Amino acid sequence: MAHTSSHSFVNNVMHGTLNKLSPATCDFYLTIIAVHFWAPTFKWGISIANIADFAKPPEKISYPQQVAVACTGIIWSRYSLVITPKNWNLFSVNVAMAGTGLYQLSRKIRQDYLSGEKDAAPQLEA
């Protein structure tokens, strides 16, 4: 019996609190939770996938994809420091995105342009 009364007390407090909030206030708090927590948290998946792709051969790396990842990371890192309140989760995930995207681009550029010059130089001399 004590369990149901404590359960009812918690329900009454929660419903009483929620009923006092206007729909606009509820929407505001839900937006804050979604934007400031869940969006950056799910965005970590992109950085983790990019880290997993470090083992991928450079010829399989996509320029457009990595440019998009790097630019998104750079732009949103800056934006996350301009907004109020500062969102450090958003900042950190975007720094990681920019870093992994730039690293993947460097691997692709080295493979496409720099390693080709090293292989072509001995052929010209022979």
Q: Residue 123: enclosing H or E segment and its boundaries?
A: helix 115-125
Give the model's confidence band at 58: pLDDT under 50 very low, under 70 low, under 90 confident, else very high: very high
Number of domains in the chain: 1
Q: What is the per-residue pLDDT for 65?
A: 96
Contact call for residues 102 and 65 (beta carbons, < 8 A): no
Which residue's entry shows tokens 């949103």? 76
Rounded CA-CA distance 42/47 in Å is: 10
The amino acid present at 6, given as its one-letter code, is S
Residues 52/76, Cβ–Cβ less than 8 Å: no
Distance CA 120, CA 25 (A): 65
> Do 40 and 76 meet the contact criterion of CB atoms below 8 Å apart?
no
Candidates 73, 71, 50; CA nearest to 60 is: 50
pLDDT single digits (tens) 69-105 = 999 999 999 998 998 888 899 999 999 999 999 999 9
Structural domain range at position 33:
2-125
Per-residue confidence band for 36, with pLDDT thresholds at 50, 70 and 90: confident
